[in-house]
Structures are given as structure tokens and as C-alpha cells.
């Protein structure tokens, strides 16, 4: 199926309702999906440039869609995401390019500012030069904080546009480019709900990280389940 003939619904995502439905979806096999989400994210993070992230994301959604259909789900099903390795890798690389284009200048600006301070006579501790007052570094770190917020905002917006890419690859067998184009159109048609769902994921994920990161893994499968529910609302199952 091509991107041009993939229909989708508009304005159908309610973030809180998606979370409630996501929890109801996996609660009977909650610990299995904790394991699936944790293994998928950990394995997806070990390789640089997202080499394994795409297949792992595809595997997670394969498990969720199978569960929605009432099929038996196991941890081994996660690794069927490698059946979509090439297309998921292309989608991942395209997704991270805009973020890298923003991150690299941010690091460059901070490095130049920091080295400028350190190479000044006071920074080098030159003879007769008083040490740097820590308060003098406040503007530099304030600028860095603003730049980090810009990076976070760009990441959220890019993530919103790519939200349905991996599910489309496994559910509709779309190639990477067609999945990205369809995801962008569907995200624009449900932009408020998509941003709300991403914001809710970020808030719950941050709250989970405050519990020594353990809580983040406990809410992770619920977030993925809510994501799958939102996808199915936007892209109804093509089969009865």
C-alpha cells in the first residue's frame, strides 16, 4: 500500500483516553510488556546512530498489534522487528538528522563560549589576574539552558511528525519514505492530540526517572500501549 492511498482519521486522539485504553489493553500481561519495552529500548540504545532502535520499535509495535488482535505474544516476537530492519533504519536516520543539525551548533556555541572564558587571562590564572567569579559564568549557562530548550522543542516537534512511522511500517507494510510522509500528514491532522500524548509521555517518563529510573521502565509499556491505541484510532485496522 502506498502513502497516497493510506486513509486516516483526523482529530480523534484524546491523550488521557489513550492512556486509559492503553492500560486496559496490557494490564493482564503487564509484566510481559514491561520486559518487551525494557529489552527493546535497552537493545535499541546500545548501537550508535539508531542502528538497532528502528527494528526494536517495530518489534514492540508488532507485539502490541498482535495483542490487540488477540494473538499470543511472547518476548521472542520482539525480535521479528528485524524483518523490517532496512526500512526502519532508513526512517530512524531520517528522523535523527534534524535533531543532529540543531544539537551540533549548540555544542559548538557552548564549547566556543567555554573556551573563551578559560583562555582569558583570568581563566588561565595569569599572574596578577584574579580568579573567575562563578557568577560570571551564569550568562553562559543561561544561554546554554535556552539552547537546550530549543533542542528539546525541536526533538518534540520532529517526534510528533514521525509518531506513526514505525507502526505504519509494520502494520501497512509501507516503505520508510511512504511511512514518513503518511505519518507527517496524519500528525498534522491530529496535531493537538499528538502533542498532548507526547507531553504526557514526557511528564510520566520524567516522573519515573525520579524513582532511580526504575519507574521509567514501569510506565514505558503503558506509554507504548497508549501510542498503539492512538495509532489504531487514526489508522483503523484494514481487516475486520
d(CA 121, CA 124): 5
pLDDT at 119: 62
CA 142 to chain centre: 26
Lowest-confidence region among 58-62, 77-81, 109-113: 109-113
Q: Mean pLDDT, the chain, as a whole number? A: 87
Asked if 169 and 58 touch (Cβ cutoff 8 Å), the reply is yes
pLDDT at 135: 66
pLDDT at 52: 94
Top mean pLDDT of 119-133, 153-167, 198-212 is at 153-167
Query: How far is the first Cα of the chain from the last one, in angstroms, to the nearest whole number?
Result: 18
Task: Return the domain boundaries, the chain.
Answer: 11-120+133-234
Higher pLDDT, 122 or 146: 146
Residue 201 has pLDDT above 60, yes or no: yes
The whole-number average pLDDT for the span 76-96 is: 95
Asked if 114 and 94 touch (Cβ cutoff 8 Å), the reply is no
pLDDT at 101: 79
Q: Write a three-state SS string for 33-95.
A: HHHHHHHHHHHHHHCHHHCCHHHHHHHHHHHHHHHHCCCCCCHHHHHHHHHHHHHHHHHHHHH
Residue 130 has pLDDT above 60, yes or no: no
Higher pLDDT, 214 or 181: 181
Predicted confidence (pLDDT) per residue in 10-66, tens digit: 999 999 999 999 999 999 999 999 999 999 999 999 988 788 999 999 999 999 999
pLDDT at 134: 62
Predicted confidence (pLDDT) per residue in 214-235, tens digit: 888 899 999 999 999 999 999 9
Residue 199 has pLDDT above 80, yes or no: yes
Amino acid at each position: 500500500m502506498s502513502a497516497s492511498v493510506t486513509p486516516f482519521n483526523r482529530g480523534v486522539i484524546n491523550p488521557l483516553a489513550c492512556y486509559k485504553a492503553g492500560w486496559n489493553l496490557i494490564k493482564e500481561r503487564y509484566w510481559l510488556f514491561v520486559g518487551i519495552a525494557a529489552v527493546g529500548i535497552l537493545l535499541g540504545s546500545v548501537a550508535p546512530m539508531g542502528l538497532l532502535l528502528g527494528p526494536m520499535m517495530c518489534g514492540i509495535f508488532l507485539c502490541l498489534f498482535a495483542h490487540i488482535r488477540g494473538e499470543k505474544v511472547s518476548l521472542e516476537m520482539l525480535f521479528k522487528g528485524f524483518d523490517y530492519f532496512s526500512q526502519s533504519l532508513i526512517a530512524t536516520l531520517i528522523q535523527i538528522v534534524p535533531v543532529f543539525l540543531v544539537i551540533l551548533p549548540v555544542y559548538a556555541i557552548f564549547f566556543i563560549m567555554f573556551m573563551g572564558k578559560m583562555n582569558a587571562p583570568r581563566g588561565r590564572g595569569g599572574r596578577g589576574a584574579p580568579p573567575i567569579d562563578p557568577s560570571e559564568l551564569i550568562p553562559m549557562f543561561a544561554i546554554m539552558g535556552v539552547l537546550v530548550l530549543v533542542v528539546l522543542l525541536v526533538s518534540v516537534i520532529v517526534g510528533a511528525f514521525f509518531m506513526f512511522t514505525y507502526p505504519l511500517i509494520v502494520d501497512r507494510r509501507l516503505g520508510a519514505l511512504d511511512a514518513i510522509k503518511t505519518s507527517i500528514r496524519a500528525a498534522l491532522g491530529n496535531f493537538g492530540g499528538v502533542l498532548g500524548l507526547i507531553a504526557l509521555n514526557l511528564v510520566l517518563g520524567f516522573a519515573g526517572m525520579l524513582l532511580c529510573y526504575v519507574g521509567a521502565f514501569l510506565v514505558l509499556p503503558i506509554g507504548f500501549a497508549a501510542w498503539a491505541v492512538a495509532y489504531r484510532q487514526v489508522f483503523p485496522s484494514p481487516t475486520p
